[in-house]
């Protein structure tokens, strides 16, 4: 076995990419901004209320839904901490359907279900190259209550989305969830972010 | 006669009171007892071999990752000679962590507190202002290195132990090596870690997931019912207990506490396509159902690296799940995909103790280095969607374990016992080539009891 071969696990596979890529901003308070913000609020309510069929209807068939892991780094590479070689979620439309289908049967992790509140803030919007597509970056704060445990599990993340105009509304075609913890404090991710 | 245990807790409770060898029970108290946990740190985690990662993570000189041997933080680094070193990440000067990052490349690790510096192999280089001899007036520099653990590479997996003069890695593995080789040492280029591990913590003792890693097959039928409902394991939701998919095979184990569940490929295969194996050669069988992670093109490699008997077993009774004592879970599983493929998922977990009431779940996901890129991509998805943080199989485990933990704290509940009384007794199946303790048929409690006996043995030795 040779050890000089570059591995995908090597730490230089990290990237720094965060926030908006496009410079064509959609200003705060504009109609498109307001409607996208409303869509994010609607989506949060859909998930908090566990209306998974309604949520799936907000997703495109070419969906990419990923949550790369974060690692702690020092020195010149200290900001290159998003590892896009390993994920907490690595999903497409089909696998999301598998997950939501499972949640309607014997998924003990969510039966009894968690009580969740998804707080969505710091929303920034820009136009993509493709007409009718928007980059939407938001902060997510998830509070999750399980069983009779009075202490909520929490998670904070930045979400980098692409929402596409469709049928007078918007549908989600890409989401990258950048969690802040290198070691998650939540005992599973049986809920969507 | 049972050997007298030499461990007695302050209140007079002995190890034999907690692990009842005459009735095959374990007191729930073992999951919460702080004093017992202290002994485990010394008698198990400072003594036995522990998994810290894979050498494909640190391919170049100076590459390092930081990992935990229980609550002892260590630097795992490649030196200029190409060797893998494991050193305690505690500066011998004033106790600061020398390396604060989780991964990277450094020819020198310098403590940020007073500047003591170390090589990737842990050797002391010096302290700043050399002329003032800040490392000590009459102290030999050779004594000031980071504390070094003993390292062994097995199939590229990095194992280390503080027990410098203790059993060799092969002695630690014992008779299970014959079966483990079929997973870790079967291809020319070996395994590759696909990315740094997923890490998350659970509010439970390390032994709650630990004892399950002793090949608890039975929980699959009920806790992982959704596998049957989703058609992943054959049968239907209505016939789960009648058909009991995946429950029959040969469980293998050894006195060191390791185990593997070897499931009959023909029955597993029927879940996919219903083509019988009768009268087919080993190579034909392998072509009909390649073991998880292996392509048809890689089948000749199996014969290069394993004995004919081992390859034959891989074709008929491939090891699927199991564990290594004390805290490793192995899942090298078939994973049929929605797109029709079944490239499999290869994952190893370590359950790293973080106090009596917390465990860190570290999920390492692999592929064979020689597998095509698309297959690696598929296998990464298979493993993420099934295991670890969000995996639909292990989500349910992560939900059960903390609840058992909360139960273990009750004044009455803590005297309840875990029961391992569904025992088969080991027997040699006809024509079986491998050694070890063998349990053919329906999966029972034997392998998990062997896990507890390995625990008992180490905890009895001070």
DSSP states of B126-177? E-SSGGG-TT-TT--GGG-SPPBPEEEEETTEEEEES-TTS--HHHHHGGGH
Per-position DSSP letters for B395-429, written without gaps between them: HHHHHHHHHHHHHTTSTTGGG-EEE----------
Starting at the earlier edge strand, list the strands of the sheet with B150-154.
Answer: B50-54, B157-161, B150-154
Chain A nearest-CA distance from B298, in A, is 16
CA–CA distance, B49 with B256 (Å, rounded to integer)? 11
Residues of A in contact with B196 (CB under 8 A): 9, 11, 69, 71, 83, 85-86
Cβ within 8 Å, pair A74-B104: yes
| Contacts with B402 from chain A: Cβ below 8 Å | 187
Of B229, B381, B402, the CB nearest to A90: B381
Do A185 and B230 lie within an 8 Å CB cutoff?
Answer: no
3-state SS class at A95: helix
Residue B51 preceded by cis peptide, ω within 30: no
Q: What is the nearest CA distance from B195 to chain A, expressed in angstroms?
A: 4
Would residue B426 be called left, alpha or beta, if left means φ above 0 and alpha means ψ between -120 and 50 degrees? beta
Q: Could you give the CA distance from residue B30 to residue B399 in angstroms, rounded to a whole number?
A: 20
Pick from A73, A105, A189: CB nearest B229: A105
Q: Please give the residue of chain B at the shortest CA–CA distance from A7.
A: B56
Instruction: Give this complex's ipTM.
Output: 0.94
Interface of B with A in 142-201 (CB under 8 A): 156, 189-190, 192-201
CA B69, B47, B404, B385 torsion: positive or negative? positive
Q: Read off the pLDDT of residues A137-191 as tens digits, 9 standing for 90 and up.
A: 999 999 999 999 999 999 999 999 999 999 999 999 999 999 999 999 999 999 9
Instruction: State which residue of chain B sits closest to A184, comparing Cα positions.
Output: B200
Stated as kind and residue range, the H or E segment containing A45 is helix A31-48
Q: Report how far residue B72's alpha carbon sits from residue B240's, in angstroms, rounded to the nearest whole number.
A: 43
**CA trace torsion B252, B157, B88, B109 (10° rounding):** -170
CA torsion B174→B170→B328→B3, rounded to 10°?
A: 50
Identify which of B161, B162, B166, B119 has the alpha carbon closest to the alpha carbon of residue B144. Answer: B119
Interface of A with B in 63-102 (CB under 8 A): 67, 69, 71-75, 77-78, 83, 85-91, 94-95, 98-99, 101-102
Q: Which residues in chain B are contacts of A187 at CB distance < 8 A?
A: 200-203, 398-399, 402
Q: At what angle do helices A93-103 and B373-386 cross, to 10 degrees?
A: 20
For chain A, the residue count is 193
Query: CB of B282 within 8 A of CB of B315?
Result: yes
Q: Does B68 touch chain A (CB under 8 A)?
A: no
Per-position DSSP letters for A148-162, written without gaps between them: T-SSPEEEEEEEEEE
Q: Which of A115, A87, A79, A85 is nearest to A179 (CA)?
A: A87
Q: Are A1 and B189 within 8 A, CB to CB?
A: yes
Per-residue pLDDT of chain B (462 residues; tens, 9 = 90+): 445 558 999 999 999 999 999 999 999 999 999 999 999 999 999 999 999 999 999 999 999 999 999 999 999 999 999 999 999 999 999 999 999 999 999 999 999 999 999 999 999 999 999 999 999 999 999 999 999 999 999 999 999 999 999 999 999 999 999 999 999 999 999 999 999 999 999 999 999 999 999 999 999 999 998 888 887 776 677 888 888 888 999 999 999 999 999 998 887 767 666 677 888 999 999 998 899 999 999 999 999 999 999 999 999 999 999 999 999 999 999 887 766 667 899 999 999 999 999 999 999 999 999 999 999 999 999 999 999 999 999 999 999 999 999 999 899 998 999 999 999 999 999 999 999 999 999 999 999 999 999 999 999 997
CA distance B383 to chain A (A): 10
Q: Does B338 touch chain A (CB under 8 A)?
A: yes
Among B22, B415, B29, smallest CA distance to B207 is for B29
Whether the CB of A106 is below 8 Å from some CB of chain B: the reply is: yes
Nearest to B100 among A67, A74, A183 (CB): A74
Q: What DSSP designation does A29 have?
A: T
Distance from CA of B384 to the nearest CA of A (A): 7
**Tokens, residue B39:** 């002994």
pLDDT at position B337: 74
Give the list of residues 6+ apart from residue A151 with CB closer than 8 angstroms, or none: none
Is the CB of A9 less than 8 angstroms away from the CB of B396?
no
With 0-12 CB in 10 A as exposed, 13-18 as middle and 19+ as buried, what is B6? exposed
- Any CB–CB contact under 8 A between B78 and chain A? yes
How would you classify residue B53: left for phi > 0, otherwise alpha for psi between -120 and 50, otherwise beta? Answer: left
Which residues in chain A (25-44) have CB-CB distances under 8 A to chain B? none
How many other CB atoms sit within 10 Å of the CB of residue B129?
9
For residue A3, give the nearest of B374, B153, B52 by alpha carbon. B153
Contact predicate B349/B362, CB 8 Å: yes
Residues of B in contact with A5 (CB under 8 A): 56, 59, 189, 369
Interface residue B390 vs chain A (CB under 8 A)? yes
What gap in Å lies between CA A178 and CA A122, rounded to an integer? 14
DSSP B19-84: EETTTTEEEGGGGT-HHHHHHHIIIIITTS-EEEEEGGG--STTEEEEEEETTEEEEEEE-TTS-E
A86: which chain B residues are within 8 Å (Cβ-Cβ)?
194-198, 365, 380
Q: Provide the chain A residues 145-164 that lie in CB contact (below 8 A) with chain B.
A: 147
A147: left (phi over 0), alpha (psi -120 to 50) or beta: left
Counting every residue, how long is chain B?
462
State pLDDT tens for residues A69-128.
Answer: 999 999 888 888 999 999 999 999 999 999 999 999 889 999 999 999 999 999 999 999
Would you call B291 helix, strand, or coil by DSSP? coil
Distance CA B122, CA B105 (A): 14
Task: Tell me whether residues B192 and A107 touch, CB distance under 8 A.
Answer: no
Q: State whether B194 and A9 contact (CB < 8 Å).
A: yes
Tokens of B349: 């977990």
If you search the block for the tokens 């599983």, which residue do you land on?
B333
Shortest CA gap B166–chain A (Å): 27
Q: How far apart are CA B302 and CA B309, in angstroms?
A: 11
Q: Please identify which residue in the block is written with the tokens 């993509």.
A: A128
Residue B326's closest CA among B208, B199, B201, B462? B208
């Amino acid at each position: 076995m040779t050890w000089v071969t570059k591995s995908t696990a090597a730490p230089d596979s990290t990237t720094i990419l965060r926030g908006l890529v496009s410079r064509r901003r959609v200003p705060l308070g504009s109609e498109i901004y307001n409607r996208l913000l409303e869509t994010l609020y609607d989506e949060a309510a859909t998930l908090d209320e566990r209306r998974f069929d309604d949520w799936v209807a907000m997703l495109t068939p070419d969906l990419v839904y990923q949550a790369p892991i974060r690692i702690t780094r020092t020195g010149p590479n200290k900001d290159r901490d998003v590892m896009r070689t390993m994920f907490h979620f690595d999903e497409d439309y089909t696998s999301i359907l598998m997950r939501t289908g499972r949640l309607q049967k014997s998924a003990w992790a969510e039966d009894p279900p968690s009580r969740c509140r998804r707080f969505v803030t710091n929303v920034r919007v820009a136009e993509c190259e493709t007409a009718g597509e928007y980059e939407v970056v938001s902060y997510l704060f998830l509070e999750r209550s399980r069983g009779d445990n009075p202490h909520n599990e929490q998670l904070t993340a930045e979400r980098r989305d692409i929402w596409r105009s469709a049928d007078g509304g918007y549908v989600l075609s890409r989401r990258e969830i950048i969690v802040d913890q290198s070691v998650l404090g939540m005992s599973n991710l049986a809920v969507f972010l | 006669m049972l050997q007298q245990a030499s461990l007695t807790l302050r209140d007079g409770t002995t190890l034999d009171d907690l692990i009842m060898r005459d009735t095959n029970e374990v007191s729930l108290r073992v999951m919460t007892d702080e004093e017992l946990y202290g002994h485990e740190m010394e008698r198990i985690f400072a003594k036995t071999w522990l998994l810290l990662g894979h050498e494909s993570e640190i391919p170049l000189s100076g590459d390092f990752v930081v990992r935990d041997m229980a609550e002892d933080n260590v630097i795992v680094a490649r030196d200029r000679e190409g060797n893998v070193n494991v050193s305690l990440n505690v500066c011998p000067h004033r106790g600061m962590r020398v390396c604060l990052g989780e991964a990277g490349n450094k020819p020198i690790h310098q403590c940020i507190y007073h500047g003591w510096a170390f090589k990737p192999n842990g050797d002391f280089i010096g302290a700043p202002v050399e002329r003032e001899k800040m490392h000590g007036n009459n102290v030999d520099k050779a004594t000031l290195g980071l504390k070094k653990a003993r390292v062994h590479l097995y199939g590229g997996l990095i194992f280390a132990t503080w027990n410098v003069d203790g059993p060799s890695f092969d002695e630690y593995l014992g008779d299970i090596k014959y079966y483990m080789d079929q997973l870790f040492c079967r291809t020319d280029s070996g395994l590759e870690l696909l990315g740094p591990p997923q890490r998350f913590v659970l509010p439970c003792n390390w032994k709650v997931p630990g004892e399950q890693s002793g090949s608890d097959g039975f929980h699959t039928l009920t806790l992982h019912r959704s596998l049957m409902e989703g058609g992943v394991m054959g049968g239907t939701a209505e016939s789960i207990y009648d058909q009991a998919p995946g429950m029959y095979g040969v469980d293998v184990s050894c006195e060191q506490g390791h185990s593997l569940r070897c499931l009959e490929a023909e029955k597993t295969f029927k879940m996919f396509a219903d083509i019988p194996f009768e009268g087919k050669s080993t190579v034909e069988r392998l072509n009909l159902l390649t073991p998880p992670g292996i392509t048809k093109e890689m089948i000749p490699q199996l014969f290069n690296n394993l004995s004919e008997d081992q390859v034959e077993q891989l074709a008929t009774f491939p090891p699927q799940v199991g564990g290594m004592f004390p805290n490793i879970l192995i899942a090298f599983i078939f994973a049929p995909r929605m797109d029709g493929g079944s490239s499999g998922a290869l994952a190893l977990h370590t359950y790293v103790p973080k106090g009596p009431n917390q465990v860190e779940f570290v999920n390492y996901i692999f592929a064979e280095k020689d597998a095509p890129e698309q297959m690696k991509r598929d296998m990464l998805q298979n493993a993420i969607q099934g295991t670890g943080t969000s995996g639909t199989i292990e989500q349910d485990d992560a939900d059960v374990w903390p609840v058992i933990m909360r139960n273990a704290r009750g004044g009455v509940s803590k005297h309840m016992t875990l029961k391992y009384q569904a025992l088969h007794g080991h027997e040699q199946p006809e024509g079986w080539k491998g050694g070890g303790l063998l349990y053919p048929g329906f999966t029972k409690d034997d392998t998990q009891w062997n896990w507890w006996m390995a625990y008992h043995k180490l905890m009895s030795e001070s």
